[in-house]
Amino acid sequence: MNDASIEVSGLRKRFGPTQALDGMTFSVAAGTVTGFVGPNGAGKSTTIRVLLGLDYQDEGHALVCGQRYAALKYPLRRVGALVEAAALQPSRTGRNHLLWLARSQRLPTDRVKEVIDLVGLDSAARRRAGGYSLGMRQRLGIAAAMLGDPEVLILDEPFNGMDPEGIIWIRGFLRSLAARGRAVLVSSHLMGELQGIADQVVVVGRGRVLADATVDELVARAGSDRVLLRSPTPSEAAAVLQRAGARATVTDRGTVIVGGITAQRVVEVLSPAGVAFSEVTAQRASLEDVYLQLTGGATQYRAGTQVQP
Ligand code: ADP
């Protein structure tokens, strides 16, 4: 018995000559935000569409709340989804759109006001949706996804078109959902958007998982933590550090880049040796560095847009 809220296993899917999914496998636990990140064309939307029963896989399985989406009895009460800027009737107000959805899904209409407040759409909710910005349509889409107060939320590129205020809001909103025990899967083609909100990051490329880890594990895996050292005698400092087993390179700016030991250890080695220094700084590999390392070979679908050297 697997208690994952979302379980994707061995998904394969071909569109003509394109292998969109090639063994996609991961799971999402309740109470967590899982980032689903990879370059355009990596298979994120296809995976999400299969999860929601909007498309069909050739092989493998995709379960939400332990079942196929199509088999869920009251799907909107179990799973909320934002898959693309909501298909809206431009003449209908945001509020009426939500009322219509609630009635059609037999959800209590009192919930409409709650979700409008939840996504901060208050004043706009009585205006015609045809005049909404993309960011407002994203908020309306999230309000719709929240109508059934679902235990699983799946959002495909929700940051697209959001202004900075909207991005801050959505980050806090997703964290608060996880804190209330919900399972959240959120896709993005930008790693930076997920830093600070994702507990777990599933990095994908060419239809399969390249890494599935916490943010800290991913950064540690890059193994490129370095220490920057400034000293009036850089060559002497480097020699002392090398004798202590560290890697140390003097740059043409006269700083020393140290690898293989911590910043604290650098101080412990240099001080008794009488080597002066003015700065010792630990430099972490950024999540973005790790992402580029992981996906560097997986960007074939963007080849046409890459600038040739
Ligand atoms: P992502 O969401 O990561 O950008 P997608 O799942 O949209 O990736 O696409 C994965 C691959 O499948 C891409 O090469 C894309 O062009 C292709 N693809 C997706 N949907 C279709 C479709 N309906 N018809 C043909 N090819 C498709």
Residue found by looking up tokens 């690898």 in the block? 259
Average pLDDT in the 194-218 region? 91
User: 226-283: same fold as 4-220?
Assistant: no
Cβ-in-10-Å burial (0-12, 13-18, 19+) of 85 comes to middle
* pLDDT of 306: 36
Atom of ligand 1 nearest to the CA of 38: 3
* pLDDT of 161: 83
What is the residue with the minimal CA distance to atom 16 of ligand 1? 41
* pLDDT of 87: 67
pLDDT at residue 240 above 90?
Answer: yes
CATH of domain 4-220: 3.40.50.300
Average pLDDT in the 39-48 region? 94
* pLDDT of 309: 33
Ligand 1: does its nearest atom lie under 6 Å from the Cβ of 39? Answer: no
User: For domain 226-283, is the CATH number 2.60.40?
Assistant: no
Q: Sketch the domain layout of the chain as residue ranges.
A: 4-220, 226-283
Q: Quote the percentage of the chain above a pLDDT of 70.
A: 92
3-state secondary structure (DSSP) of residue 104: helix
Average pLDDT in the 241-270 region? 91
Confidence of residue 254 (pLDDT cuts 50, 70, 90): confident
* pLDDT of 182: 96
pLDDT, the chain, mean: 88
Cβ-in-10-Å burial (0-12, 13-18, 19+) of 48 comes to buried
Confidence of residue 300 (pLDDT cuts 50, 70, 90): very low
Ligand 1: does its nearest atom lie under 6 Å from the Cβ of 84? Answer: no
| Residue 60: C-alpha distances to residues 21, 23, 47, 197 (Å) | 10, 8, 11, 29
What is the residue with the minimal CA distance to atom 7 of ligand 1? 45
Query: Ligand 1 centroid vs 39 CA: distance in angstroms?
Result: 11
Between CA 12 and CA 59 the distance in angstroms is 5
* pLDDT of 84: 75
Instruction: Answer yes or no: pTM beyond 0.95.
Output: no
Both tokens assigned to 89: 């009737």
pLDDT at residue 307 above 60?
Answer: no
* pLDDT of 22: 97
Q: Of 44, 60, 54, 56, which is closest to residue 207 (Cα–Cα)?
A: 44
| Range with lowest mean pLDDT among 101-105, 188-192, 217-221, 295-299 | 295-299
Atom of ligand 1 nearest to the CA of 43: 6
Better-predicted residue by pLDDT, 300 or 145: 145
* pLDDT of 73: 86
Q: What is the pLDDT of residues 60-114, one digit of tens each?
A: 999 999 999 999 988 889 999 998 755 677 888 999 999 998 998 889 999 999 9
Ligand 1: does its nearest atom lie under 6 Å from the Cβ of 201? Answer: no
Q: Quote the percentage of the chain above a pLDDT of 90.
A: 63
Task: Select, from the ranges 8-22, 189-203, 214-228, the one with the highest average predicted confidence (pLDDT).
Answer: 8-22
* pLDDT of 224: 60
* pLDDT of 130: 86
* pLDDT of 302: 41
Residue found by looking up tokens 């996609």 in the block? 24
pLDDT at residue 301 above 60?
Answer: no
In total, the chain counts a number of residues equal to 309
